[in-house]
Amino acid sequence: MTTQETVEYATEHKPRLRWAQHAPEVYKAMLRLDAAARQGVDPRLLELVKIRASQLNHCAFCLDMHSKDALAAGESVERIIQLGAWEESAHFYTEKELAALALTDAVTVLTDDFVPDDVYERAAKHFEEAELAQLIAAITVINAWNRFGVTCRMTPGHYEAGQHR
């Protein structure tokens, strides 16, 4: 900010649990899983998927991380912001990306409904089988990070783009 006005923000919370320190081998297993699941998924699409799932799961830490990574990789601010209402801003995305976002929503909100046939079939139209399997795995893995982030209340704001690459 360039003005001299001081804005007082709320106090930053501390994490509940430093899970990676208490379970380092779990953290290693997650890194291995993340690396395996991102194979064969377009990196640009992957960040969109990760941001969208993190929105649905309300993971502040993950939103901070993946929006910064997406921006650093050249993603547009518009496309990142519009993810919160992607169904209403279809023209910001390709048909393939839209199919992946619909699948992301369905696989993420699993407690309300199964993954509907039309959503699955739309994805299957745009992704060949092995790629689709990897996309499902990648959506699953960001859901996993979201669960750690939210449950342990990991503090957003301190991530620097590329830090976890």
Partner 1 sequence: MSRTTVLDREVAQAFSALSATAKRGLDDPALAELVVLRASQLNHCAFCLDMHLAVARQHGVSERQLDLLAAWEETEDVYDERERAALALTDAVTVLTDDFVPDDVYERAAKHFDETRLAHLIALIVSINNWNRVMVSRRIPPGGYTP
Q: How many C-beta neighbours within 10 Å does residue 88 have?
A: 9
Q: Does 137 bind partner 1 (CB under 8 A)?
A: yes
For 137-156, b where at least 16 C-beta lie within 10 A, e where not — what string?
A: bbbebbbebbebbbebebeb
Provide the residue count of the chain. 165
Instruction: Please report how close the Cβ of residue 76 comes to partner 1 at its closest, in angstroms.
Output: 26
- Reported as type and span, the H/E element at residue 69 is helix 60-72
140 counts as binding partner 1 under rule CB under 8 A = yes
Stretch that binds partner 1, among 4-12, 56-64, 70-78, 88-96 (CB under 8 A): 56-64
Using CB under 8 A as the binding rule, whether residue 96 contacts partner 1 is answered as no
- Shortest spacing between CB 164 and partner 1, in angstroms: 17
Confirm or reject binding of residue 147 to partner 1 (CB under 8 A): yes
Q: In the complex, what is the shortest distance from the CB of residue 6 to partner 1, in angstroms, rounded to a whole number?
A: 29
Comparing CA positions, the residue from 140, 156, 154, 143 lying closest to residue 36 is 140
Q: Is 63 in the site for partner 1 (CB under 8 A)?
A: no
